[in-house]
Each structure stands twice: as C-alpha cells, then as structure tokens.
Amino acid sequence: MNSKTPNLTFKLVLLGDGRVGKTSLVLRYVNNVFSEKREATVQASYLTKRLVIEGVPITLAIWDTAGQERFHALGPIYYRDADAALLVYDIMDSDSFTRVRNWVKELQQMASKPIIMAIAANKSDLVRSKKFDLQDAESYATSIGARLFVTSAKLGTGIEEVFLDIATRALQKKKESAESFSPTPPRKGMLLVDDEPEKEPQMKCCS
C-alpha cells in the first residue's frame, strides 16, 4: 500500500436503494469476492481501487453508502465533492429504479459541480426469462448523460465495464478542464495530484 507516488484520485459515490447490491458490486470490483450474506451498510464504507487508463495511474476512492433512507441526512458529506456517482438498482425491482431517479434529482440539485453518472442494473443473474425490458432505463440513462450497465456482482459480469467507464470519463473530464483552467485547488481528504503527467491534447470528441 504505497501511496507515496502522486496519483490522480477520483471520488466515486455509490447510491441506491437498500439491498440492491451496492456493497457487493464494490467488493466484487475491488476484492473480487462475493457473499450472499452481507450486513446492511450503516451510513457508508470506504474502499479504494487503483487502475491505469491510457497509461495514467488512477485511484478510485469509493464511498459505498447505506441504502436506508434514515441515513440520508448525512448523504451530502459523501456526494458533495464527488467526481462521479454510480447509481445502482435491482433489475427485478422497479421500485428501486424509482429511487435511482430520485437520487439523480438530488445530485443535480445538491452536488457542488456537475457529476459523472453511470447506472448499474444489478442482479442480472436473477433474470430467468428474457422478458425484462431495459428500454426505459436505457433512455432515462441517456437523458441524464449516463450509460446503463447490466451487472451481476454474483457472477462478476459487467462490473469492470461500469467502473472503467466511470474512471475513463472522469479522466477525460479532468484532461479537458486541465486544458481550460489552471489546476483546481486541493480538496480535503483526497490525494492530490501535484504533477499530473503532461499530456498532449487528445481531442477525440467534439469533432
């Protein structure tokens, strides 16, 4: 655990209804483990994951929050300065998708800056028939500038993809803002990047 190398850190918060599998997603991603019996998360727990994207070492600092509403009064301390949010719902439970919409509203109102979002339709392993319809979810995701991923923490499917998507977009955004502004001032509680590698501008988008 050597954290001495300066590293680009993005803060990611997981939000979603209780028991949709937020903790399981993170633990599958970070430790590659899965257990059916997980204690309910109380308030929030914290994990990190290191990865390299386009040669840039990145740390994802992940706050895995509790699903129960009672704990939401303190929610803002977790998402306030987050770079990204992963919204999770249970693919078999439409109520939990409604919660995702509510979270998105709250994020749009409360977060201190535009936040990168992705949606995970989790527990795809429980889908027995092919009859479930992702159309609505897909179009909703598109409408908020997010991508939808079908995941199963149990089987380990879709997990790498969703986190990679988030990290890639966070990095992209960072590069873009680094081009238009001088470095942003340090945020508390985060590893700081004082020597972010100088990159050639790679203008892929906006063509």
Partner 1 sequence: MKNDSNTREEEQRKESSSSDWRFNQTLRNVQGLLKGRSFPGKVLLTQKSEPLQECGSPVLSPIMEKSYSENDIGPDEHVDRSSEGKILSPGNTINKSNVGKLKSSGTNSENTSGDVQRSISGTRSTDSTRITKFTKELSGPTVILESLREVAWSGIPPYLRPTVWKLLLGYAPPNSDRREGVLKRKRLEYVDCVSQYYDIPDIERSDDEINMLRQIAVDCPRTVPDVTFFQQVEVQKSLERILYTWAIRHPASGYVQGINDLVTPFLIVFLSEHLEGSVENWTITDLSPLTISNIEADCYWCLSKFLDGMQDHYTFAQPGIQRLVFKLKELVRRIDEPVSRHMEEQGLEFLQFAFRWFNCLLIREIPFHLVTRLWDTYLAEGDALPEFLVYIYASFLLTWSDKLQKLEFQEMVMFLQHLPTHNWTHQELEMVLSRAYMWHTMFESSPSHLAG
Phi-psi region of 54 (alpha: psi -120 to 50; beta: other; left: phi over 0): left
Contact pick of 6, 34, 38, 144 for partner 1 (by CB under 8 A): 38
Share of the chain residues as helix, strand and coil, in percent rounded to the nearest 5: 35, 25, 40
The nearer residue to partner 1, 45 or 157, going by C-beta atoms, is: 45
Amino acid found at 106: E
3-class SS of residue 111:
coil
Q: Please tell me the count of residues contacting partner 1 according to CB under 8 A.
A: 30
Contact pick of 147, 175, 190, 199 for partner 1 (by CB under 8 A): 190
The nearer residue to partner 1, 37 or 131, going by C-beta atoms, is: 37
**Residue 187 carries which DSSP code?**
P
- For position 5 contacting partner 1 by CB under 8 A, the verdict is no
- For position 175 contacting partner 1 by CB under 8 A, the verdict is no
Residues β-bridged to residue 85: 13, 117
The nearer residue to partner 1, 35 or 112, going by C-beta atoms, is: 35
Helix orientation angle between 159-180 and 22-31, rounded to the nearest 10 degrees: 80
With CA atoms as reference, report the closest residue to 111 among 119, 99, 103: 103
Nearest distance, CB of residue 46 and partner 1, angstroms: 4
Amino acid found at 76: P
Contact pick of 51, 92, 127, 191 for partner 1 (by CB under 8 A): 191
With CA atoms as reference, report the closest residue to 196 among 67, 207, 79, 181: 181
Residues β-bridged to residue 110: none
- For position 188 contacting partner 1 by CB under 8 A, the verdict is yes
Amino acid found at 171: L
The nearer residue to partner 1, 70 or 128, going by C-beta atoms, is: 70
Contact pick of 19, 154, 173, 199 for partner 1 (by CB under 8 A): 19
Nearest distance, CB of residue 47 and partner 1, angstroms: 7
- For position 98 contacting partner 1 by CB under 8 A, the verdict is no
59-67, 113-121, 130-138, 165-173 -> range binding partner 1 (CB under 8 A): 59-67
- For position 92 contacting partner 1 by CB under 8 A, the verdict is no
Q: How far is CA 162 from CA 31, 36, 148, in A?
A: 16, 21, 8
Q: Which residues bind partner 1 (CB under 8 A)?
A: 1, 3, 18-19, 35, 37-48, 59, 61, 66, 68, 70-71, 73-74, 77, 188-191
